[in-house]
């Protein structure tokens, strides 16, 4: 679960993020990862979830990130981050922007690619790397999962231009 808002402070746009669990965000600046969230996990493949007795304010990862014109903000479920490496995400975003694609089109490309990898039983993925690091030797392939992606572009004199 994540909440994102932007505010302008003295002509500076600031991204305010509150994140819990294994959903997350990336801020891409000049074709490279500038900032990113960290998944909140109890252990491998066991995401932190808010229960009735929990105080979400004690569990949330909060970030304030100064944005620049041209920054790309990607908010997504773990289905994206478990199946695509950050370098693949940045490459897809960079090539798509060069081709003149809109944020919604880029989000669709990322989600489709993540779903393709998730269905594969032989490709290498961030999830298979994490599984092997957690002791699940021999695990290969992606992780079939729901994939939701929002791509936003920071523009001059505006808030985020989202999908």
pLDDT digit string, tens, across residues 60-102: 778 899 999 999 999 999 999 999 999 999 999 999 999 999 9
Q: Which residues of the chain fall short of a pLDDT of 70?
A: 1-11, 39-51, 54-59, 157-163
Give the pLDDT score at 102: 97
| Spatial contact of 114 and 92, defined as CB atoms under 8 Å apart | no
pLDDT at 163: 47
In terms of Cβ atoms closer than 10 Å to its own Cβ (0-12, 13-18, 19+), residue 53 is exposed
CB 83 within 8 A of CB 128: no
pTM here is 0.82
What pLDDT, on the 0 to 100 scale, is given for residue 51?
67
pLDDT at site 131: 87
């Amino acid at each position: 679960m994540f909440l994102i808002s932007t505010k302008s402070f003295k002509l500076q746009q600031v991204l305010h993020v509150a994140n819990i669990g294994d959903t997350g965000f990336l801020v891409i600046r000049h074709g490279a990862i500038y900032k990113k969230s960290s998944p909140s996990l109890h252990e491998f493949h066991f995401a932190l979830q808010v229960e009735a007795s929990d105080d979400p304010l004690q569990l949330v990862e909060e970030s304030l990130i100064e944005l620049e014109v041209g920054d790309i903000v990607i908010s997504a479920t773990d289905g994206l981050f478990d199946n695509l490496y950050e370098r693949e995400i940045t490459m897809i975003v960079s090539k798509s922007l060069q081709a003149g694609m809109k944020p919604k089109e880029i989000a669709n490309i990322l989600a489709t690619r993540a779903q393709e990898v998730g269905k594969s039983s032989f490709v290498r993925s961030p999830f298979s790397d994490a599984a092997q690091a957690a002791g699940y030797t021999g695990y290969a392939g992606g992780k079939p999962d729901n994939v939701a992606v929002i791509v936003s572009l920071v523009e001059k004199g505006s808030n985020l231009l989202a999908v």
